[in-house]
Amino acid sequence: MRSEVRDGWTVVAVSGELDADSVPTLSDLLEESTADQVVVDLSGVPFMDTTGLSLMLDWHRRLDGTGGEFRMAALQPAVHKLFRLTELTEVMHIHDTVESATA
């Protein structure tokens, strides 16, 4: 996982499975960020379980509640299906690419 600033957005690129083992690392990385505009690049995530889903929803609520913005980009088909099945595609900001998320 790595983080960089692009066009005023903190972009966090995640790779590998996002599950109970890896969520704490991503959570720590997000906590270290003081940005109020965050994009999580999930192009390298083939699988996400409910702990990853919960983390994404928590950060969406956290930033939305303080006037910030939380977006996700480049979801793999299995990960996108998880958001569709839980009907979170209607609530969260999901973009096809990091570039469109930071525009």
Strands 9-15 and 37-44, how do they pair?
A: parallel
Residue matched to tokens 């390298």: 44
User: 33-91, pLDDT tens digit by residue?
Assistant: 878 999 999 999 999 999 999 999 999 999 999 999 999 999 999 999 999 999 999 99
* CA dist 13 → 30, 47, 49, 68, 99 (Å): 11, 14, 17, 19, 13
**Full-model pTM:** 0.94
**Which domains are present in the chain?**
2-102 (3.30.750.24)
